[in-house]
Amino acid sequence: MVLSLLGFITAVVFGIRCIMNLMKASQKKPLITITFDSIIDSSSKNSIGRLSYQDIDRFCIAKEDNAIGIIPRDEDSFIKKLSPIKQQKAIDNKNYDKPAFLLYVGNAKDMSLEDIYTLLKKRLDDYRSLYD
């Protein structure tokens, strides 16, 4: 009787812990993916998604936001491609004299803002040397 009660309690504890771990693993995590030909931004709810280096003119650092500013080659046409909510966010950023698009890197654990900025500039230069 004691062993079956102990087994039941152990099963419940491990079952609850398993469910908690599954819930934690299934949560969407902020992520910035830097590929050879694009940036995939899912770092916040206002992130721009996939942005090809072909559409980017340059990057800058927005220290007050702990973000990297992305300046597209043709800002107005790129803004028009976005959803209305993201369009409004880009317009708001421009009205506050910020870059239209910000890549938030505050959650990056392995790299600093300057390191990510340097990596993005290098990838953009590499892309341009091959395709422009």
- Count: domains in the chain: 1
Res 69: pLDDT = 92
Using CA atoms, how far residue 14 sits from 2, 7, 20, 58, 59, in Å, is: 18, 11, 10, 51, 48
Residue 116 domain-assigned? yes
Q: What is the pLDDT of residues 76-121, one digit of tens each?
A: 898 898 889 889 999 998 899 899 898 888 767 778 889 999 999 9
What's the confidence (pLDDT) of residue 28? Answer: 63
Q: Is residue 38 part of a domain?
A: yes
Taking only the tens place, the pLDDT of each residue in 6-26 is: 888 998 999 999 999 888 877
Q: What band does 1 get if pLDDT is binned at 50, 70 and 90? A: confident
What is the domain extent for residue 49? 31-131
- Is 57 a member of any domain? yes
Residue scoring higher pLDDT (43 or 98): 98
> Residue 6: inside a domain, yes or no?
no
Examine residue 3 and state whether it is found in any structural domain, yes or no: no
29 vs 131, more confident: 131
pTM: 0.71
Nearest Cα to Cα of residue 31 among 42, 19, 47, 39: 42
Supply the DSSP symbol for 44: S
